[in-house]
Amino acid sequence: MAEVDRTQYEADKQRLREAAEAYYNGTDLLLDDATFDALSRQLAAIEAAHPQWAAGDSATDQVAAGAAVAGDVAHTVPMLSLGNVFDPDELGDWLAGVAKRAGTEDLVFTVEPKFDGLALSARYEEGRLTRLVTRGDGYHGEDVSYAAPNIVGLPPRLTEPVAIEVRGEVMLTTAQFEAANEARMTHGDRPFINARNGAAGALRGAADRKYPIAMSFFCYDVITPETTSPEGAGAGRYVTALQRAHDLGITIGVETISGIDTYAAAEVPAAVTAIEERRGSLPFAIDGAVIKVDDYAARAKIGSSSKAPNWAIAYKYAAEEGMSKLIDIIWQVGRTGVITPRAVIEPVMVSGTTITYATLHNPDDITRKGFRMGDTVIVKRAGEVIPRLEAPVVNLRDGSETEIEFPEVCPRCGSPIDKSEARWRCSRGRQCGLAEAVTYAVSREAWDIEGLGKKQVENLVASGRVGGVDDVFTLTETDLIEFGKVAPANAPKITAEIERARTSPLARTITALGIRGTGRAMSRRIAKHFRTMDAFRAAGIPELEAVDGIGTEKSAMIVLELAELAPVIDHLSELGVSMADELDPAVAEVAAEVAPDSVDTAAGSAGAAGAGEPGAEEAGADADGAAGAAAQPLAGMKVVVTGSMVGPLADLSRNEMNELIESLGGRATGSVSKNTDLLVAGEKGGSKRAKAEQLGVRIVSEDEFAALIGRVG
């Protein structure tokens, strides 16, 4: 490695210790996870090259970098940290090293999630919880037994009157983190920066806090005389000890992901990947996977260092959080008139992507969390979620930060702002963004009216001829020429497109309406669930919540949106626009060839069962019997389509491909993630194909996909 300056090394070592103290003690945040890990690795490399510099004072060879509060409670056996690996090659090297230490390659491993919280030991006597102790320096920790009533997963009494010690992670689930910050802000306290920071703060502050904060415990270790005997003789297996703890009523971490299982060395990488694929959908934060030797006798032979066991390792995933600087806020006005703050930040790499913009949700989010212009901020990107600003890092302020200015009038049209809800909205509502709303409604994703583009729509709206999306179906050739400035030769073609669009499937009409809380994929699910517009409009919150992806908040918004759009929907119906769930002819043709029993192009079965009633869809499905259920070749699969289709599927547009996927039981999504099951890659697949290859997602060509669904010509 390049020559390193001793002074810089000492400064970086101090920087790591200060960051570790803030990290492990839950006070403030000085470095994001990725930077902390990178600095640790850098210092470890320097200390390997210059061991005399770190003699007796290494920051990388101590539990919690030597910065955690030790406390005065001695641990029964050392409570060590874990070493880290960051890629498959490093994992392979570690597995080989473990086999060498054990003197055999015939080892069995466990793979479990690495929770992002605070390590905790819980001691039981005669089945009663008697003491909670933090990890501290690995040899002594703090007594935090006062927090026990607030921790879910550690029962005050076990199912049997036994003496046992369990170790695990105390943390805040996503719901607990949000509830904690609501409570803190209600009581005038600063919100936690992130769940990891919050877990330590919630635990240590429980003694003096005047309001409770719920936390969760997930067990990952069991301490008994048998499991800690020097030779491991007769100690048995780790999975057996975990199962015993579970039977006693303690929450086991690995069971929150996949259940207790074991793997041969060759199977470990796939198990690590499987946990990562579920990361974005979990109701709590994990930052990696932990791999452990299962057999206690083998563990005793492999041994430990002063900092970490040699028989266990943490595989760290790419960080989902990073630190950046808030540069500016852009106030955007959407198609429905909603005014949304969009943060402009200094570029930062999060989850392998460079982020320059992030959402702030709404103005209230800015006020509650106390953001200021120029703040150092935490940027979070999880799964397919749009990057968002989590919190300002208040302790890094230098006095140059300024208050954020909120708009007094609509940034687009200057009209008053309706501030009655958390999401501010222009008082003109959809009329403020009418041109954008109509352009979206006639786009390929909705009614797909070819020839009626953005410029023509803007002319029609500006002239007053189009005052809503429903007015599209009242346009004549003369209107298009006079008000839309359409070339006379193109006007007949556009009116023909408008006539064709009257028979659009229900999903396309729902998309065209631009209902807040829905999008293309959600519109397809709504149409498939309710089958008719009347049934959709009649649905209340409980019925809407039955649709995949719609919760209480979103269902309440949809109910309000449908009430606001009632005149538009009524007018569309009067104009002869289809209000039933029918597939596009091209899609229906392909779907009928692949799965004839699953295609119901006229929504007839819903009508037979009583269209509009909550059980209509289920009744239709029951009538179809097992044959229809079997004819779903993509059942349960999340599928992404990229590039241009050729061959047997060349006649389908992207939206039609998505409709086909969902008609065959799949779920069409727009971006590749760890949760994607299949990427259909046409010509010029581009970045989506590259990301799929990186994540190990299955990739098929157009012809392979056609064969998969039974469309061969």
Where in the sequence numbering do the catalytic residues fall? 114
Which helix or strand (DSSP H or E) is residue 327 part of?
strand 321-333
Residue of 130, 139, 148, 165 lying closest to 68 (CA atoms): 139
Task: Report how far residue 376's alpha carbon sits from residue 374's, in angstroms, rounded to the nearest whole number.
Answer: 7
Q: Rg for the chain (alpha carbons), in Å?
A: 29
Contact 691, 651 (CB under 8 A): no
Are 516 and 554 within 8 A, CB to CB? no
What 3-state DSSP class applies to 137? coil
Rounded Cα–Cα distance for residues 491 and 513 (Å)? 24
Q: Check if the beta carbon of residue 662 is closer than 8 Å to that of residue 524.
A: yes
Q: How many CA atoms, within 13 angstroms, populate the side-chain half-sphere of residue 284? A: 25
CA pair distance 464, 478, nearest whole angstrom? 15
Report the sign of the C-alpha dihedral through residues 15, 19, 24, 26, in that order: positive
Alpha helices per DSSP H over 531-596: 533-538, 541-545, 552-564, 566-574, 585-594
Euclidean distance between CA atoms 470 and 83, whole angstroms: 62
Q: 597-601: which pairs have CB atoms within 8 A and are 24 or more residues apart? A: 597/624, 597/627, 597/628, 597/630, 597/631, 598/624, 598/628, 598/631, 598/632, 598/663, 598/664, 598/665, 599/663
| Burial letters 382-408, b for 16+ CB under 10 A, else e | beeeebbbbbbbbeeeeeebeebeebe
Beta strands in 116-150 (DSSP E): 118-125, 128-134, 140-141
Q: Rounded to an integer, what distance in angstroms lies between the CA atom of residue 294 and that of residue 204?
A: 33
Q: Which residue has the tokens 């043709």?
A: 589
Q: Compute the distance between CA of residue 312 and CA of residue 293 in angstroms, rounded to an integer.
A: 7
- Tokens 């008697």 belong to which residue? 130
Find all residues with CB under 8 Å of 309, minimum gap 6, and list them.
80, 82, 299, 302, 303
Q: Report strand pairing: 339-350 vs 321-333.
A: antiparallel
Q: What is the Cα–Cα distance from 616 to 254, expressed in whole angstroms?
A: 40
Phi, psi of 169 (to 5 degrees): -120, 130
CA distance 306 to 129: 29
Distance CA 313, CA 315 (A): 6
Alpha helix (H) ranges present in 442-551? Answer: 454-463, 477-482, 491-501, 506-513, 520-530, 533-538, 541-545
The CA distance from 505 to 514, in Å, is: 15
